[in-house]
Amino acid sequence: MTLLRKILAVCGALCLAAAFPAAPASPQTVPLKGLGRFDGWRDNALIGYGLVTGLAGSGDTRRNAVTRQALRNVLSRLGTSVSEDQINSRNVAVVIVTATLPASANPGDRIDALVASIGDARSLAGGTLLMTPLLGPDQQAYALAQGALTAGGYDFEANLNRQQRNYPTSAVLPGGATVELAVDADVLKAEGYVSFLLSEPSFTTAQRVSDAINASFGFGIASVRNADEVLIQYNQPRTQLAGFLSRIENVAIAPDTRPRIVINERTGTVVAGANVRISSVVVSQGDIKVTITSENYASQPSFISGFANDVSSLVVTNTTLDVEQGANDAVMSFPNTTVGSLVEGLAQAKVDTRRMIAILQAIKAAGALHAEILVQ
C-alpha cells in the first residue's frame, strides 16, 4: 500500500508539472544609478605645469631650455636671481600634472594627481613636486598640487649598464592636490525637470525607466525624450531635491541587453552572452600548414682551381616542401542554438580560441549569427 501511494504521488507531481510549466525566470533588475547618470553630474579635468626637485641625477639634462627657464622663474619668485649659466643640475625635471575634480568638491578637499615627465628625465623616483596650480578649461586654478611622488619604478645606469623597472617617468601624488574653489554640480534645469542619461542607449531600457518611475512616483512624472535620455519633472522645494534624487536612483530596473560579442584578437579572448542566437549552420574547421625549408651548400673544387683559373666555387640550394594537415580538423552541424552551445561544441572538438574567433566571424558573414561583433 505504501509503494502504491508513492507511485501515485510521483505520477501526480509529473502531471501537475506538465499542466502548469515553470514560469520563465524574471529578468535581473539593477538600481537605476547603475545604468547612467543625471545630466550635469560629471567630473572635471584639471591640468598643470610644474617642477619636480630632489632627483638623484636622473632629471632633465642641460639641453632642456624649458627646464632651466622654469627653474629660474621659481627661484625669482622666491627672491633669488640666478643666470642661466649658473643652473647646471640634473636634480630637476619639468612635468605635466593632471587630476580629476569630482562633481561636488569643497575647498580643502584632497584629490589624487598624476605626474608625467615631458623632458628627457630618466626617472622621477624620490622627487618632490613643487606647488603647481591645476587649471580647468576656463583657465581658473581649482586646486594646488605639491608633495612627494610615488613612482613605482626605477632606472639606474652605470658604466653603460642599465636596469629599469616599470615606467619611472610617471608618478602618482596620492591626495597631493588640495581643492581651492568650490564646485557644486546643478542637475535641476531651469524648466523644472531632471534629465537622466543612459550609458547604453536603448529605447526599450529608456521606456522601462520611465514606466518604473511613473509607477513609483505617479503617472506622468517621467517621459522618454530619446534612446539615452529620460526627463523627470520636479515641482517640490529645492531643499528636497537630494532626497528625491536618492529615491529615483534606487528604483529597480530590468535593462534591455543587446546581443553582442566582444572579440580581442590580440589576447584571443571571446566574451558573449550565452543567449545570443545562432541559426542552423554547418561548421567545417581545419587547416593545412605548408613549410618550405631551404639549405645552401657551397661546392669549392680546390684541386681543379689550381689548374684552371676559370673554375670557381658553386652554391647549391636544396629545397624541401612539407605539407602538414591539422590534427584537430572537424565538421560539426549545429541547429538553431546559442553562442554558448556553439563554443561548448567547438571546445569539445579541441578548437583553440583563435580558431573560434575566425569561426564566429565567418558565421556572422554568412548571416547566421544574430548579434553585433565588436573587435578590439
pLDDT score for 21? 39
DSSP 150: B
Q: What one-letter code names the amino acid at 250?
A: N
pLDDT score for 320? 63
217-271: pLDDT as tens digits: 888 899 999 999 999 999 888 888 889 999 999 999 988 877 788 877 777 677 8
DSSP strands (E only) in 103-241: 104-105, 110-117, 128-135, 141-148, 154-158, 161-165, 170-179, 183-184, 193-198, 222-226, 229-233
Q: What CA–CA distances, in Å, run from 268 to 124, 353, 358, 374, 376?
A: 36, 6, 11, 13, 10
Q: What one-letter code names the amino acid at 154?
A: Y
* CA 88 – CA 86 distance, rounded (Å): 6
* CA 91 – CA 115 distance, rounded (Å): 16
21-55: pLDDT as tens digits: 333 445 688 899 889 999 988 899 999 999 999 88
pLDDT score for 7? 35
CB 222 within 8 A of CB 32: no
* CA 132 – CA 48 distance, rounded (Å): 6
Mean pLDDT of 90-109: 92
pLDDT score for 203? 92
To the nearest whole number, what is the mean pLDDT of the chain?
78
Mean pLDDT is lowest, of 69-73, 220-224, 309-313, for 309-313
Greater pLDDT, 307 or 135: 135
**What residue spans of the chain are helical by DSSP H?**
2-19, 65-77, 203-217, 241-249, 302-305, 339-348, 353-365
Q: What one-letter code names the amino acid at 10?
A: V
* CA 266 – CA 258 distance, rounded (Å): 24
pLDDT score for 156? 63
DSSP 27: P
Q: List, edge to edge, every strand of the sheet that includes 372-375.
A: 269-272, 260-264, 372-375
| Res. 330: pLDDT tops 60 | no
162: confidence class by pLDDT, cuts 50, 70, 90 = low
Domains by residue range for the chain, with CATH = 27-42+185-256 (3.30.1360.40), 44-184 (no CATH), 260-287+327-375 (no CATH), 288-303+311-325 (no CATH)
| Res. 97: pLDDT tops 90 | yes
CB 371 within 8 A of CB 259: yes
CB 200 within 8 A of CB 61: no
